[in-house]
Chains A and B, each alone.
Chain A
Amino acid sequence: MKKNYLNIDKLISKILFQHSIDPPDDAWENINNRISKNKTRKLLPIFLKIAASITLIFAIGSIFYLQNNVSENIAKQEIPSIEQKKSESTIEKIKNQQKPYSEDEKINNSKILKKAPNNSSIINPKTNDKSNTNISVPKSKSEIIIAEIPIPKMEIPETTNQISEVFKNISKLDTERRSTSIEIPEKNDIQNLSSIADNTQEEIEFLPKKKKTETKNWSIAGIFSPSYSFRNLIAGNSDSQSPESIENYDYDDFESAIISYSGGLNVEYQINSRLSFQSGVHFSRLGHSSEETILMKDAYAQNEISISSSIGKVNTYSQSGKTFESLELTRSNNSLVDNSETVKSTYFIKNNMIYKFDYLELPLIVKYKLIDKKLDFQVLAGLNSGILVNNNVYLESDNYLQNIGKTDDLKSINYAGVFGFGIEYSLFKRTTFLFEPTLKYSLLPISENEQALNYYAYSFAVFTGIKYTLK
């Protein structure tokens, strides 16, 4: 009976061996169409990368442009041009006669007059155009020229209420001013001018203060965090399945996250009280661990053994023949393979394998403060470009980690999205404590290998650190 079995095996093998049948004519057309589609699909990520880069450049460019523009506008408002003054033909300088301070006993209760110097005078402007008024710098000790106070006629107020009413008007109109004029003071008037200005500043304390523009602050921070790192497997194009991946192992059953660490230096540039940009240099470790790793021997290549996980193959350090020997050591202690059989196809390494991918990251993050108090609360989002600096696979046995090789086909750069929120607590004037829970998620698969499953690495870290404001 056994002889018959062998015969039928031999018969079929012999007849079909090297036998060839032409496939249908349209088969090649169908294959060609599908390959062409794949070609266009591969071009997309390149366009996406270019589009993302352009968007980033535009975003940064427009922020700096807007920033410069705002600064220029503020400067223009604060330092009016002399040219403007010259063109003001309709404005008349009206000077009232100097009234000795002593004569103003009626408004003795007015703070402004109490503190005003004797050698100065308040001159009520009289203008033809009621919407425009002038402040002129005094040309002599006895003159004060007030610009841009659009009060058609100013009478000397008699009561405190009247005074406050006048200043309210001044402040209201001050915000609407369109033009300013300055007359250049004479040298010997400068001292008096400054003393008047000082006094005036003190006197008008009760006026609504114009909000100060925030200074642009640079700050540096050192941060550190333990991190939880794992991956998300997303089914790719089934057409691009590698022969091995067709097995469709359910990796989630035996792969798990690793706890590692990340940290680095941040540089932050504060645009205004709420918005800031952050960059820096971080070290970050991604990866996963596998309780059961697939070991395959290529049936068509001598001594070629490959170890696979959800990210792809591991390139072992040992030479092709020795690779197997080194793994046999594990085999003796553990249930690697059945000793009675030769390693021919698929087996499982029961030891824990740890995959570690180290990246040097350059983040570009936008932070927005939702609560701006002593304890700040902010949201943050941005992009992270990670340069692969280390890639190791470790075999764990008896709590000892043996570095056995590298994961093949990892991309040298990993682009990730960054999302999180931050709490900042001001410890001292320039020193702030940071607390930033952050999630980083790869925007593209981190492996170049066209696996059936795309490997998107992610990590969650709760950064803590200290920020020091430079200016």
Chain B
Amino acid sequence: MLSACLLYFCEKIIEDLKQDYTKIINACINNESKFQRKLYDLFSGKMFVVCLQYSNNYEEAKDILQDGFVKVFTNLKQFKHQGSFEGWIRRIMVNTALEKFRQNKIKFIDSEIFEFKDSLSYEDIESNISANDILKVMQELSPQYRTVFNLYVNEGYSHKEISEKLNISVGTSKSNLSRARTILQKRVLSLNLDEK
């Protein structure tokens, strides 16, 4: 009985939240600046992290964020109110980042692979490393490695899908992911060691 009540209230809260988005979305479609700002404030923080994950530096992330939000505002009519609104915005940001990636596509040189003698547990690292450190490490990756890693790990795409999106072979996608993981792992460990 209690769980049923809880479920009901949770659903109601989610419904209210959805309604709230609907109101903001409709106001944004009508070009009401106040609500556009509100929508930006709601999602810009999280989306900026997404942009940082896909970019080489802070400025590039800012560009992706700006382009992405302009697309969000101009394409709001296309949002069908099915599924997550945040997911929809995130997808626009990721696609904007991919577009940027394709524009600036150059041949990347593999980063140097570090050798580590010590090995640390996952828990040790998690407690010592911040989101900013992770983002910094990711930005040091070559753009293609980083993009493949993000699409696979954070967006849940398969190698086939990644190969189609980035116009590379499935094999390249797999090898890029493997290299990205190795580099990231070693950099994270290195950071952790430095801090210690």
User: Is the Cβ of B153 less than 8 Å from the Cβ of A35?
Assistant: no
Chain B contacts of A333 at CB under 8 A?
Answer: none
In whole angstroms, how far apart are the Cα atoms of A345 and B77 in the complex?
Answer: 21
In the complex, A55 has a CB within 8 A of chain B: no
Stretch from A15-23, A89-97, A221-229, A397-405 that touches the partner: A15-23
In whole angstroms, how far apart are the Cα atoms of A59 and B52 in the complex?
Answer: 58
* A31 and B122 in contact, given A22-B48, A23-B44, A242-B78 (Cβ under 8 angstroms): no
- What is the interface of chain B mostly: helix, strand, loop, or mixed? helix
* A239 and B71 in contact, given A23-B48, A28-B37 (Cβ under 8 angstroms): yes
In whole angstroms, how far apart are the Cα atoms of A414 and B36 in the complex?
Answer: 32
User: B82: which of A27, A247, A298 is its contact (CB, 8 Å)?
Assistant: A298
Interface string of A236-266 (1 = CB under 8 A from B): 0001111100110000000000000000000
* A35 and B48 in contact, given A15-B129, A23-B62, A345-B161 (Cβ under 8 angstroms): no
In whole angstroms, how far apart are the Cα atoms of A18 and B158 in the complex?
Answer: 23
User: Is the Cβ of B62 less than 8 Å from the Cβ of A27?
Assistant: yes
User: Is the Cβ of A28 less than 8 Å from the Cβ of B185?
Assistant: no
In whole angstroms, how far apart are the Cα atoms of A15 and B126 in the complex?
Answer: 8
User: Is the Cβ of B82 less than 8 Å from the Cβ of A304?
Assistant: yes
Chain A contacts of B157 at CB under 8 A?
Answer: 344-345
Q: Number of contacting residues on B, CB 8 A?
A: 62
In the complex, B73 has a CB within 8 A of chain A: yes
User: Is the Cβ of A299 less than 8 Å from the Cβ of B91?
Assistant: yes
* A5 and B181 in contact, given A27-B66, A239-B74 (Cβ under 8 angstroms): yes
In the complex, A300 has a CB within 8 A of chain B: yes
> In chain B between 99 and 153, which residues have their CB closer than 8 angstroms to a CB of chain A?
99, 122, 125-126, 129-132, 134-135, 138, 153
* CB of A11 to closest CB in B, whole Å: 6
User: Is the Cβ of B138 less than 8 Å from the Cβ of A12?
Assistant: yes
User: A242: which of B33, B75, B158, B188 is its contact (CB, 8 Å)?
Assistant: B75
* CB of B59 to closest CB in A, whole Å: 9
Interface string of A7-43 (1 = CB under 8 A from B): 1111111111011111110011011101100110000
* CB of A31 to closest CB in B, whole Å: 5
* A240 and B75 in contact, given A15-B126, A300-B87 (Cβ under 8 angstroms): yes
Closest B residue to A337 using CB positions: B160
Chain A contacts of B164 at CB under 8 A?
Answer: 346
User: Is the Cβ of A34 less than 8 Å from the Cβ of B70?
Assistant: yes
Chain B contacts of A30 at CB under 8 A?
Answer: 66
* A243 and B83 in contact, given A5-B181, A27-B65 (Cβ under 8 angstroms): no
Chain B contacts of A299 at CB under 8 A?
Answer: 87, 91, 155-156
In whole angstroms, how far apart are the Cα atoms of A21 and B71 in the complex?
Answer: 20
In whole angstroms, how far apart are the Cα atoms of A258 and B156 in the complex?
Answer: 39
Chain A contacts of B185 at CB under 8 A?
Answer: 4-5, 7-8
User: B70: which of A11, A20, A31 is its contact (CB, 8 Å)?
Assistant: A31
Closest A residue to B44 using CB positions: A23
Closest B residue to A338 using CB positions: B160
In whole angstroms, how far apart are the Cα atoms of A35 and B131 in the complex?
Answer: 31
Interface string of A292-327 (1 = CB under 8 A from B): 000000111110100000000000000000000000
User: Is the Cβ of A240 less than 8 Å from the Cβ of B71?
Assistant: yes
Interface residues of chain A, those whose CB is within 8 Å of chain B, are: 4-5, 7-16, 18-24, 27-28, 30-32, 34-35, 38-39, 239-243, 246-247, 298-302, 304, 338, 341, 344-346, 449-450
The 8 sampled A-B contact pairs (Cβ below 8 Å) are A8-B188, A15-B134, A27-B62, A28-B44, A247-B165, A298-B83, A345-B158, A449-B78
User: Which 3 pairs, one residue from A and one from B, show the smallest C-beta to C-beta distance?
Assistant: A20-B45, A301-B83, A300-B87
Interface residues of chain B, those whose CB is within 8 Å of chain A, are: 31, 33, 36-37, 40, 44-46, 48-49, 52-53, 58, 62, 65-67, 69-71, 73-75, 77-78, 80, 82-84, 87-88, 91-92, 95-96, 98-99, 122, 125-126, 129-132, 134-135, 138, 153-158, 160-161, 164-165, 178, 181, 184-185, 188
Extra inter-chain contacts (13) besides given A300-B87, A346-B161, CB under 8 Å: A11-B129, A13-B153, A21-B131, A22-B48, A28-B40, A32-B33, A38-B74, A242-B75, A299-B155, A300-B84, A301-B80, A345-B161, A346-B165
